[in-house]
Chains A and B, each alone.
Chain A
Amino acid sequence: MVLDDIKESLVGLDMDKVLDLVKRAVDEGYRPVDIVNSLADGMKIIGEGYERGELFLSEIIMASEIFKEAMNILEPLVLKEEGVLKPIGRVVVGTVEGDLHDIGKNLFTMFLKSMGFDVIDLGVDVSVENFVDAVKQYRPDIVGMSALLTTTVVNMEKVIKALEEAGLRSYVKVIVGGAAVSKEYAIEIGADAGGIDAYEGALICRKWMEEKQKISVK
Chain B
Amino acid sequence: MYSLKGGWGFDHGIYRAWWEGELERPLIQIYVSREGFENEVQKLYSKWHWGFARDPFNLVNTIDTFIEWCRKSLFLIDAYPNLWINLGPGIVAGYLGAKVLFKEYGDGGATVWFGASADPSEARDWDFIEDMLGFNEDNFWWKVTIDATKVALVYSRGRFIVGFTDLGGVHDILASLRGTQNLVKDMYFNSKKVEEVSWRILDLWHIYYERLYSIIKQHQYGTSAWMGLWSPLRWYPIQCDFSAMLSPKLFQKFVLPILEEQCRRLDHIIYHLDGPGELPHVNYLLRIEKLNGIQWVPGAGMELQDKDCSSEYWIPLYKKILDHGKNLVIWVPCSRVLDAIEKIKSIGSLGRVAIQTSCSSEKLAEKLIEKLALRKAIESET
Contacts and interface: CB of A to CB of B under 8 A. Distances in A.
Contact of B118 (A62, A98, A100, A182): A100
Interface stretch (A50-58, A133-141, A202-210): A50-58
Nearest to B101: A100
A151 interface: yes
B115 to A, nearest CB: 11
A179 interface: yes
Given A100-B119, A151-B106, A182-B305, 11 more contacts: A56-B245, A57-B277, A58-B250, A61-B184, A62-B184, A98-B105, A103-B245, A149-B300, A151-B107, A151-B109, A180-B301
Interface in B211-244: 244
Contact of B245 (A61, A148, A149): A61
A57 B244 contact: yes
A18 to B, nearest CB: 13
A180 B107 CA distance: 16
A151 B105 contact: yes
Interface string A129-158: 000000000000000000011111000000
A151 to B, nearest CB: 4
A13 B185 CA distance: 11
A185 B303 CA distance: 13
A149 to B, nearest CB: 8
A56 B181 contact: no
Interface of B: 103, 105-107, 109, 111, 113, 117-120, 180-181, 184-185, 187-188, 244-248, 250, 275, 277, 280, 299-301, 304-305
A59 interface: yes
Contacts of B244: 57
Contacts of B113: 100
B304 A152 contact: no
Contacts of A103: 180-181, 245
Contacts of B103: 98, 100
Given A100-B118, A151-B107, A57 B246 contact: yes
Contact of A56 (B275, B280, B299): B280
Given A56-B245, A57-B244, A100-B118, A182 B304 contact: yes
A58 B300 contact: no
B181 A61 contact: yes
A58 B105 contact: no
A103 B246 CA distance: 13
A13 B184 CA distance: 13
B304 A58 contact: no
A194 B39 CA distance: 34
Contacts of A149: 105, 109, 111, 300
A58 B245 contact: yes
B181 A179 contact: no
Contacts of B275: 179
